[in-house]
């Protein structure tokens, strides 16, 4: 499995991550749009490391999810659901990722009309997305 490396905007937080395939998951929920000033795009990571940990802050954006960001520059780093082993990593902080494709768009019914993606994707409503997360 390929390993990628990168850093936040100010370079204070370094990341190394294993990604099986560089396929984007795109979330249109209100929280992600507030967090990233647009949809949150992410790779599903199997293994990742953020260093130094003291420069990373975590925010529980809901009862089921947590977000990580750089304490200095605020760069969005990772997102994960508490009950899942997968971590969603901001792909734009990684260097030299080749062959990026677009896979799924979640919370699609929350997407504003002012933008859209031309790529063919699987689209899931917020209700369908939450059912996949299985918050029980």
Domain containing 81 equals: 3-133
Q: In the prediction, which pLDDT does 95 show?
A: 96
Token pair for residue 33? 């749009």
pLDDT 10s digits, 31-47: 999 999 999 999 999 88
Q: How many domains does the chain have?
A: 1
Q: Mind listing the pLDDT tens digit for each residue in 65-114?
A: 999 999 999 999 999 988 877 899 999 999 999 889 999 999 999 999 99
Run of H or E including 132: helix 126-133
Q: Which residue has the higher pLDDT, 21 or 110?
A: 110
Edge-first strand listing for the sheet containing 40-45: 56-59, 65-70, 76-81, 87-89, 40-45, 23-27, 101-106, 122-123
Backbone angle region of 96, left / alpha / beta, with phi > 0 → left and psi within -120 to 50 → alpha: left
**Cβ burial, residue 59 (10 Å; 0-12/13-18/19+):** exposed
The CATH number of the domain holding residue 39 is 2.170.150.70
């Amino acid at each position: 499995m390929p390993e990628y490396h990168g850093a936040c905007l100010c370079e204070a937080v370094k990341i190394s991550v294993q990604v099986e395939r560089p396929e984007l998951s795109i979330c249109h929920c209100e929280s992600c749009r507030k967090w990233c000033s647009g949809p949150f795009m992410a790779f599903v990571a199997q293994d990742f490391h953020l260093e130094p940990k003291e420069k990373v802050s975590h925010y529980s954006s809901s009862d089921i999810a947590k977000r990580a960001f750089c304490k200095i520059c605020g760069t969005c780093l990772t997102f994960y659901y508490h009950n899942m082993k997968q971590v969603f990593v901001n792909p734009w902080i990684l260097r030299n990722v080749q062959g990026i494709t677009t896979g799924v768009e979640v919370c699609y019914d929350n997407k504003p009309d002012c933008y859209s993606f031309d790529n063919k994707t699987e689209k899931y409503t917020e209700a369908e997305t939450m059912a996949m997360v299985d918050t029980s």
